[in-house]
């Protein structure tokens, strides 16, 4: 069957194709989204970096949690390097987020409510403050064009059932903990990370999508980190800050990204890959 006939749908960054009953081809494009809007300008090689970095992390995490990858080489030549063949999962409709530091939407929620997901936090925290211990801060998975919202653990229980809620929350914190520890050994802080989990045809819960990439996580250099921020970031925060600086209102359409901003963003994605894996990109 030609691949065009197998097309399922596109997310903001990835295109999904069905390849067999319970298999997918997950193809990472060079698209970049900010505040849930896809920017009109691609970042060259971003799809390849995200794919390579996720594969590296899935390996580092394999003893903690099963993952969806079947093969990164058995993919059509046109997608080589930025596609994986994976198990098709029934995704749990929650964004599984862990934070060790306070910034971004978590900071905004804390400033508004003094809590995140109903969890009270101490007073006086600033942008970039380290939390006493990492916290689980799930959000809903909003339909296209809408923003994800923080939800309480009770709402997660209602959505996926109490057993999966507790199990996947623990997995989320375990993955964050392992990721933060490995990154720390390489001089990097993982401020927060978003995971996606789903159930395979045989019922196994698995880590899906991408993991601990600069699209799904915030990475800061440990030696220059300071609460009160802003902190230098290896992730797409650089583009978010640039986009907001243009006066953009976070609604469609997003502004065209100038060449120099594309280049800096691309270099930061390469840089975080190299620091984490110890291998230059492309290998």
Ligand X SMILES: Nc1ncnc2c1ncn2[C@@H]1O[C@H](COP(=O)(O)OP(=O)(O)OP(=O)(O)O)[C@@H](O)[C@H]1O
User: Which chain residues interact with ligand X by CB under 6 A?
Assistant: 11-14, 16, 24, 26, 68, 86-89, 91, 141, 144, 196, 198, 208-209
**Residue 93 vs 162, nearer CB to ligand X:** 93
Residue closest to ligand X when measured from CB atoms: 11
Residue whose token pair is 């290998």:
283
> How near is the Cβ of 68 to ligand X at its closest, in Å?
4
> How near is the Cβ of 24 to ligand X at its closest, in Å?
5
> How near is the Cβ of 222 to ligand X at its closest, in Å?
28
**Residue 86 vs 160, nearer CB to ligand X:** 86
Six token digits for residue 32: 């970049």
**Residue 11 vs 81, nearer CB to ligand X:** 11
**Which H, E and C letters describe the chain, residue by residue?**
CCHHHHEEEECCCEEEEECCCCEEEEEECCCCEECCEECCCCCCCHHHHHHHHHHHHHHHHCCCCCECEEECCCCCHHHCCCEEEEECCEECCEEEEEEEECCHHHHHHHHHHCEECCEECCCCCCCCCEEEEEEECCEECCCCCCCCCECCHHHHHHHHCHHHHHHHHHHHHHHHHHHHHHHHHCCEEEEEEEECEEECCCCCEEECCCCCCCCCEEEEEHHHCCCCCCCCCCCCHHHHHHHHHCCCCCCCCCCCCCHHHHHHHHHHHHHHHHHHHCCCCCC
**Residue 70 vs 119, nearer CB to ligand X:** 70
> How near is the Cβ of 144 to ligand X at its closest, in Å?
6
Give the span between the Cα atoms of 72 and 177, in whole angstroms.
Answer: 26
Closest CA to 196 of 180, 186, 185, 210: 210
**Residue 12 vs 186, nearer CB to ligand X:** 12
> How near is the Cβ of 113 to ligand X at its closest, in Å?
25
**Residue 47 vs 128, nearer CB to ligand X:** 47
> How near is the Cβ of 25 to ligand X at its closest, in Å?
10
> How near is the Cβ of 120 to ligand X at its closest, in Å?
30
**Residue 213 vs 233, nearer CB to ligand X:** 213
């Amino acid at each position: 069957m030609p691949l065009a006939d197998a097309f399922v749908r596109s997310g903001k960054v990835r295109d999904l194709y069905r390849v067999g009953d319970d298999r997918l081809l997950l193809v990472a494009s060079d698209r970049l989204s900010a505040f849930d809007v896809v920017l009109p300008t691609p970042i060259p090689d971003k799809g390849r970096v995200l794919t390579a970095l996720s594969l590296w992390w899935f390996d580092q995490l394999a003893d903690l949690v099963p993952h969806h990858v079947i093969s990164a080489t058995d993919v059509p030549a046109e997608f080589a390097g930025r596609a994986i063949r994976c198990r098709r999962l029934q995704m749990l409709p929650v964004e599984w987020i862990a934070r060790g530091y306070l910034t971004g939407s978590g900071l905004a929620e804390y400033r508004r409510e003094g809590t995140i997901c109903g969890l009270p936090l101490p007073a006086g925290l600033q942008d970039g403050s380290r939390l006493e211990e990492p916290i689980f801060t799930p959000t809903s998975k909003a339909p296209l064009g809408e923003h994800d919202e923080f939800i309480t653990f009770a709402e997660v229980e209602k959505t996926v059932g109490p057993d999966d809620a507790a199990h996947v929350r623990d997995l989320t914190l375990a993955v964050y903990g392992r990721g933060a520890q490995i990154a720390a050994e390489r001089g990097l802080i993982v401020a927060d990370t978003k995971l996606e989990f789903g159930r395979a045809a045989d019922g196994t819960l698995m880590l899906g999508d991408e993991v601990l990439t600069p699209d799904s996580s915030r990475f800061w250099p440990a030696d220059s980190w300071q609460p009160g921020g802003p902190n230098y970031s290896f992730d797409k925060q650089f583009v978010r800050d640039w986009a907001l600086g243009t006066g953009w209102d976070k609604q469609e359409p997003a502004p065209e990204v100038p060449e120099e901003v594309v280049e800096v963003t691309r270099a930061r994605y390469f840089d975080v890959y190299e620091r984490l894996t110890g291998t230059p990109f492309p290998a």
